[in-house]
A = this chain, B = another copy of it.
Amino acid sequence: MDNLLSNLKIKVSDGLFQIDPFTSKLGKSIIFHSVEMITELGFEKFTFKKLGESIGSPEASIYRYFKSKNQLLCYLISWYWGWMECRLILEIANISSPIVRLEKSIALVLSNTNENLLIEEVEVYKLHQITISESIKTYLNKDVDNSNKEGAFLNYKQFVERVSKIINEINPDYKFPQMLLTTIFEGAHLQVFFGEHLPRLTNKQNAPDYITKFYINLALQSINS
């Protein structure tokens, strides 16, 4: 997989940066260290000043790449869904059964790479964790309509779109594929978080992949009924 993906450039909407970070050393460093730092501190306590210190560059230089820390978060999350779409395509290629393809799509959203895979300076393991706790902050705010215009959610929409087509292969009459999928994807992330911090809000099991199985069942029951 690494080899295949190392030839890919994940497309991120150009409204999500001022200068494409992958065109320079500093840009790549911003990406690498921001993933590290947001994972460690959480988005609220993460600042460009701290980021600058850890990179060894002044704050002002970071602002040349991203106009705000919000834009940077949107960039990272968008990159994540772009990368997930790549993984999805590889994962379900040559699988004829749409049910199996759907199962694999849902499993993918909950899977994390074990090794700390580094793609385009992005530690994808950590970015997965960031997506779980921080991604909703890209849209649950009063600037959502602007972010939307800047293309912040295109990659996520495209991912959802691709999987909803699989749902309509299974049942062409199913009316709520996007609704079902965002319920599942966002719900899945939340259950991971609850499992760690608020166990009374979930049903943690020792069985591996119990969250995945739960959501696969939920999806298939809903689609086939």
Contact = CB atoms under 8 A, between A and B. Distances in A.
Contacts of A161: 200
Interface stretch (A86-94, A102-110, A217-225): A217-225
Interface in A148-162: 148, 153, 156-157, 160-161
A140 interface: yes
Interface stretch (A1-9, A49-57, A177-185): A177-185
Contacts of A198: 139, 144, 148, 153, 157
Contact of A41 (B45, B142, B197, B217): B142
Contact of A201 (B134, B160, B193, B222): B160
Contacts of A134: 140
A194 B176 CA distance: 13
Interface in A177-214: 177-180, 182-184, 186-187, 190-191, 193-194, 197-198, 200-203, 205, 211, 214
Given A153-B198, A183-B190, A197-B148, A141 B44 contact: yes
B45 A153 contact: no
A67 interface: no
A175 B221 CA distance: 16
Contact of A144 (B140, B183, B191, B197): B197
A14 interface: no
Interface of A: 41-45, 133-134, 136-137, 139-142, 144-145, 148, 153, 156-157, 160-161, 175-180, 182-184, 186-187, 190-191, 193-194, 197-198, 200-203, 205, 211, 214, 217-218, 221-222, 225
